[in-house]
Amino acid sequence: MQSETFYYDNKIPKLFAIACVFWGAVGMLLGVIIAFELAFPLLNFSDYFPYLSFGRLRPVHTNAVIFAFVGNGIFTAVYYALPRLLKAPMWSKALSKLHFWGWQFIIVCAAVTLMLGYTTGKEYAELEWPIDILITVVWVIFGVNMFGTILTRRERHLYVAIWFFIASWVTVAMLHIVNSFEMPVSFLKSYSWYAGVQDALVQWWYGHNAVAFFLTTPYLGLMYYFLPKAVERPVYSYRLSIIHFWSLIFLYIWAGPHHLLYTALPDWAQSLGTAFSVMLILPSWGGMLNGLFTMRGAWDKVREDPVLKFFVVALTCYGMSTFEGPMLSLKNVNAISHYSDWTIAHVHVGALGWNGFLTFGMMYWLIPKLFNAKLYSRKLAANHFWLGTLGIILYAIPMYWDAFRSYFMMKAFTPEGQLQYQFIDVVNTTIPFYIIRAVGGTIYLVGVFVMIYNLVKTARSGSFIADEVATAPALAKAYKAPTNSIWHSLIERKPILLLVLSLIVVGIGGLIELVPTFLVKSNVPTIASVKPYTPLELQGRDIYIREGCYNCHSQMIRPFRYEVTRYGEYSKAGEFVYDHPFQWGSKRTGPDLARLGGKYNDLWHFNHMINPAEFIEGSIMPHYPHLYDDELDTTGTISKIHAMRKLGVPYEENYEAIANKDLRTQAIQIKNNLVTESNGKIKISDKKEIIALIAYLQRLGKDIKIETTSK
Amino acid sequence: MSFSIYLTQITDVSIYPIISLSIFVIFFISVSVWVYSISKADISSMKQIPFNEK
C-alpha cells in the first residue's frame, strides 16, 4: 500500500504546555496565599478591597488548579499523543487554535468574575452561566477536533490512552451540562435549577466525578502514553489496562454520594455510594500496579532519570489517595473526616502528588523533545523532585494531624455533660498547623519555579521543531478482520461505538443515581412552617454567596450528640426546599451556621462582621467593611423573585410589585434594632448591604424553631 | 437516619442497589471474558502502538 507523508504539529502542544506551567504557578501561588490568609487574616486585605478575601480567592485557586493547570495539562497530552497514536495530524488547525485561545479566555474570565464576586455558589462549578456556555462551546470544539482526528486516522487500533481521553470527554460534557442547569437572573447572576437536597445530590455527583473524569481518567491516559515512552518499553499488561479502563469508568460514576454521608441523603444511596467507593480500590490499584510494573527491570533508570522519579511518586500518590478515598467513604471514618482538614489533605495528595508530579514528569520529557535539546540540568530536576516531595509531606501531615486533633476537641464533653471547648478554642490551636501547611505549599511552589527555570534554559539551548514529519499508509477502506480474532477487537477499532458505550456505561450509573434524586424531591415532605425567604433575606443570601462564606461555613448539622449540642437540632431535608442553590458547604473552618438565626442579636452580627478578630479574640474570619459602605442594589429584587417563582418557590402572584416595599420595611426594622440594642450609638442607613446580610443570618434555621415553640 | 423515611415512600426503592450491583457484576465478568479472549498477537501489536509513530 502507498505510504503517505504528513506532519505532527508541535506548536499547539507547546502552547498548551506553556499555559499549563504558567497557570499551574499562578494557581499554586494563590493556594499559598489563601493558606497564609487562614493563619494571618490581615492578608485578606479586606480593609482595602474585597477581591482577595478568602471566600472569593479560594474558588479562584481551586478552579485555576483544576481547570487551568490540569486542564491545559490534559490538552498538552492529547494534542501531543493523539496524532502520534493515530498516525494523523490533528483534524483541524483552526479548531486547535480556537480551543487553545478559547480555553485561556475562559480562564481569564473565570479569575476576573470570581474575584468580583460573581459565583453560583456551587463548589468547583462556581462559574456563572455565560462562562458555562463558553465552556460548553470550547468543549464541543475540542471533541469535534478529537473525533475528526480519530476518524481520519492511519492506525486501525485505538490505543488504550485514547479510550481514556474519549470517556473523559463525553463524561465531562454530561456532568457539566447536568450540573449547570441554572436560571439566569441577569447577566452574570443565576440561581441553580435544583434546590436543597436535590441540588446537593446533583452537585456532589458532579463534584466527585469532576475529580474522577477531569483529574483522574485523562491523566491515566497521559500515564499510559508517557510512561511507556519514558521507560522505553510497553505497558506491563495491556489486558489489565483495558479492565482498568472499563471498571474504573463504570464504578466512579456511582460513588458520588459518599460526599454526603450523614446528611439529608437517604440511607440506601449512602450505602450504595460506599459500596462502589470501596470497590473502586480494585481498578485503581490495578492501574497503579500496571504503571509501576511497567518500570520493572528499569529501576536503575529510575534512580537517574528525573522523569521516571516523578512518575514513580505520582503513581504512589495515586495509590495512596485511591486507597484513602474509599476509606473516607466508610461511614465511621467519614464522621471524622467530613468538614475537616482531612479532606483537604486527601485532595492535595492527589493534586500535588498525582496530577502535579505526573505533569512535571511529562514536561521534563516533552520539552527536550519539542526543542530537540537535552534537559538543561538533571541536578536541578532532582532538586525540584526533593522540594516537591518535601512540600507534599509538610502539607499533608499537619493537615491529617489537625483533623484528628480538632475532632477530639470538638467532641469532648465535660463530666457535667457540657462541651469542653468553644469553637474558637479549636481555631486558636489550629493556627500552627495552618502555618506549617502554608510553608509546605511554599516549598512545593519553589520547586515549580526551579522547574520553570530549567525548562526555559532547556528550550533556549535547543531549537523548536514546529512540525515533525512522518509517513504511514492510509487505512484500507474495507477492513477484513483476521480469521483468528473474531469480534474481539471490534470495539477498539470503532471509535464512535466506543464513545457510545462509554456514554452508556457512565449514563447507567448516572441515571440510577439521579432518578431517585428526583423521586426524593417529590417525597421530601414540605414542612408547613418553612417559608420562602423575604426579599431582604434573599438579597442577603446572595451576598453570602457572593462573599463565598460557604468556603468556611457549613449549613448542615449532622445527627451526632457533639454537633447537636454545639449547633442545635440536626438539619432536616424539608428545610432546604427553597434553597437555590444549597449552601451546605464542605468544610468547617468556621462553625456551622444552619441554626444561627436568633442565636445572637442584630448588634452582635453588626459588630462581628466588621472586624471578627477584634470582636472574638483570635478569630481568623476576614473583615467585611465594604458591606457597611456599599448600598444594596435593589433593582434586581424583582427579577430575583420572578426567577425564584419560575423555579417553583411559592411567592404570590404579582408579589414582585410590592417586594421592594417589604424589603424596605424589614431593613428599617433591623436598623431600628441596631439603634436600640446599641443604645443609640450605632446609626447606619437601612440601605447598606450589611442590613440584608444580617436579615439572612437571622433567618437561618428559624423555620423549625418556630414550629417547635408553637407546639 | 430519619431521612430514609422519605425514600421508603418511593415504591420498591430497595430494587435500586440490587439492580446496580448485578449490572456491575455482569458487566465486569463480560469485560474480563472479552479481554482474555483477545489473541496474544493482537495484544502485543496494540501495546507497541506508542512506539511506531514515525
| A205 pLDDT tier (thresholds 50, 70, 90) | confident
Contacts of B25 in chain A (CB under 8 A): none
How far is residue A191 from each of residues A579, A593, A630, measured CA to CA in Å? 9, 21, 23
Task: For residue A475, tell me if it sits in a domain.
Answer: no
B20 lies within 8 A of chain A by CB: yes
| A479 pLDDT tier (thresholds 50, 70, 90) | low
pLDDT at position B4 is 42
Torsions phi, psi for A191 (to 5 deg)? -115, 140
- Mutation for testing the A interface, residue in B46, B51, B54 having most A CBs under 10 Å: B46
Q: Do A157 and B21 touch (CB under 8 A)?
A: no
| A522 pLDDT tier (thresholds 50, 70, 90) | low
Task: For residue A119, tell me if it sits in a domain.
Answer: yes
Q: Do A488 and B34 touch (CB under 8 A)?
A: yes
Q: What is the pTM of this model?
A: 0.93
Bigger pLDDT: A72 vs A497: A72
**Distance, in angstroms, between B43 CA and closest chain A CA?**
7
**Distance, in angstroms, between B11 CA and closest chain A CA?**
10
Residues A299 and A329 in one domain: yes
Residues A279 and A317 in one domain: yes
**Distance, in angstroms, between A359 CA and closest chain B CA?**
19
Q: How far apart are CA A155 and CA A473, in angstroms?
A: 9
Task: For residue A482, tell me if it sits in a domain.
Answer: no
pLDDT at position A675 is 96
Residues A542 and A629 in one domain: yes
Q: Do B16 and A84 touch (CB under 8 A)?
A: no
Q: Is the pLDDT of residue A23 over 70?
A: yes
Neighbouring residues of A390: CB distance < 8 A, sequence distance ≥ 6 = A440, A443
Q: Do A159 and B46 touch (CB under 8 A)?
A: yes
Q: Do A489 and B38 touch (CB under 8 A)?
A: yes
Q: What is the mean pLDDT of residues A247-252?
A: 86
Nearest CA to A255 out of A558, A66, A513 is that of A513
Residues A705 and A671 in one domain: yes
Least confident stretch, A54-58, A498-502, A611-615, A619-623: A498-502
| A343 pLDDT tier (thresholds 50, 70, 90) | very high
Q: How far apart are CA A300 and CA A279, in angstroms?
A: 34
pLDDT digits (tens, 9 = 90+) for A433-450: 999 999 999 999 999 999
B30 lies within 8 A of chain A by CB: no
Q: How far apart are CA A464 and CA A213, in angstroms?
A: 32
DSSP string, A13-71: HHHHHHHHHHHHHHHHHHHHHHHHHHH-GGGG-TTT-STTSHHHHHHHHHHIIIIIIIH
Residues A698 and A652 in one domain: yes
pLDDT digits (tens, 9 = 90+) for A682-697: 989 999 999 999 999 9
Kindly state the cell numbers that stand for A533. Answer: 425567604
Q: How far apart are CA B26 and CA B19, in angstroms?
A: 11
| A657 pLDDT tier (thresholds 50, 70, 90) | very high
B17 lies within 8 A of chain A by CB: yes
pLDDT at position B19 is 75
Torsions phi, psi for A508 (to 5 deg)? -60, -50
Q: Do A265 and B3 touch (CB under 8 A)?
A: yes
The mean predicted confidence, pLDDT, of chain A is 91
| A525 pLDDT tier (thresholds 50, 70, 90) | low
Q: Do A234 and B50 touch (CB under 8 A)?
A: yes
Task: For residue A133, tell me if it sits in a domain.
Answer: yes
Closest chain A residue to B36 measured between Cα atoms? A239
pLDDT at position A144 is 96
CB atoms within 10 A of CB A594: 25
- Checking phi first, is residue A87 left (phi over 0); if not, alpha (psi -120 to 50) or beta? left
Contacts of A155 in chain B (CB under 8 A): 49, 52
pLDDT at position A385 is 98
pLDDT at position A643 is 96
Residues A183 and A293 in one domain: yes
pLDDT at position A533 is 96
| A397 pLDDT tier (thresholds 50, 70, 90) | very high
Task: For residue A296, tell me if it sits in a domain.
Answer: yes
Contacts of A254 in chain B (CB under 8 A): 20
Least confident stretch, A29-38, A54-63, A467-476, A598-607: A467-476
Bigger pLDDT: A702 vs A431: A431
Closest chain A residue to B23 measured between Cα atoms? A508
Task: Tell me the one-letter amino acid at A640.
Answer: K
Least confident stretch, A326-335, A432-441, A529-538, B18-27: B18-27
Q: What is the mean pLDDT of residues A81-87?
A: 95
Type and span of the H or E element at A708: helix A702-710
Q: Beta strand pairing status for A189-192 and A3-9?
A: unpaired
B14 lies within 8 A of chain A by CB: yes
Type and span of the H or E element at A378: helix A378-410
Bigger pLDDT: A520 vs A444: A444
3-state class of A164 per DSSP?
helix
pLDDT digits (tens, 9 = 90+) for A574-590: 899 899 999 999 999 99
pLDDT at position A211 is 85
**Partner-chain residue, chosen from B4, B10, B39, that has the shortest CB–CB distance to A267:** B4
DSSP string, B6-21: HHHTSTTTTHHHHHHH
Task: Tell me the one-letter amino acid at A710.
Answer: S
pLDDT at position A711 is 34
Which CATH number characterizes residue A373's domain? 1.20.210.10
Q: What is the mean pLDDT of residues A581-604?
A: 95
Q: Do A275 and B17 touch (CB under 8 A)?
A: yes
Contacts of B6 in chain A (CB under 8 A): 266, 520, 523-525, 573
3-state class of A468 per DSSP?
strand
Q: How far apart are CA A341 and CA A400, in angstroms?
A: 7
pLDDT at position A263 is 60
Kindly state the cell numbers that stand for A634. Answer: 435593589
pLDDT at position A521 is 57
A419 has which bridge partners?
A413
| A502 pLDDT tier (thresholds 50, 70, 90) | confident
CB atoms within 10 A of CB A689: 22
Neighbouring residues of A9: CB distance < 8 A, sequence distance ≥ 6 = A79, A83, A89, A90, A93, A96, A466, A467
Least confident stretch, A56-70, A330-344, A466-480: A466-480
Full domain range(s) for residue A662 = 535-710
Residues A493 and A574 in one domain: no
| A256 pLDDT tier (thresholds 50, 70, 90) | low
Residues A55 and A141 in one domain: yes
Closest chain B residue to A252 measured between Cα atoms? B24
What is the SS3 assignment for A644-702?
HHHCCCCCCCCCHHHHHHHHHHHHHHHHHHHHHHCCCCCCCCCCEHHHHHHHHHHHCCH
Contacts of A501 in chain B (CB under 8 A): none
Residues A497 and A598 in one domain: no
Residues A372 and A273 in one domain: yes
Cell 470517556 belongs to: A167
Kindly state the cell numbers that stand for A484. Answer: 483468528
Percentage of the residues of chain A whose pLDDT score is greater than 70: 92
Spell out where A576-622 has E strands. none
Q: Do B28 and A525 touch (CB under 8 A)?
A: no
- Mutation for testing the B interface, residue in A232, A479, A523 having most B CBs under 10 Å: A523
- Checking phi first, is residue A585 left (phi over 0); if not, alpha (psi -120 to 50) or beta? left
pLDDT at position A709 is 43
Residues A507 and A651 in one domain: no
pLDDT at position A250 is 85
pLDDT at position A276 is 79
pLDDT at position A412 is 95
Q: What is the mean pLDDT of residues A60-85?
A: 97
Q: How many independent structural domains does chain A possess?
A: 2
Residues A630 and A566 in one domain: yes
Closest chain B residue to A560 measured between Cα atoms? B1
Q: What is the mean pLDDT of residues A53-57?
A: 97
The conformation of residue A216, written as its DSSP 8-state character, comes to I
pLDDT at position A8 is 94
Q: Do A523 and B47 touch (CB under 8 A)?
A: no
Closest chain A residue to B31 measured between Cα atoms? A243
Least confident stretch, A141-150, A187-196, A313-322: A187-196
Task: For residue A253, tell me if it sits in a domain.
Answer: yes
pLDDT at position A492 is 56
Q: What is the mean pLDDT of residues A150-161?
A: 90
**Distance, in angstroms, between B2 CA and closest chain A CA?**
9
Q: How far apart are CA B30 and CA A543, in angstroms?
A: 52
| A491 pLDDT tier (thresholds 50, 70, 90) | low
Task: Tell me the one-letter amino acid at A17.
Answer: A
pLDDT at position A13 is 97
pLDDT digits (tens, 9 = 90+) for B7-46: 444 555 566 667 777 888 888 888 888 888 888 888 888 8
ipTM of model: 0.80
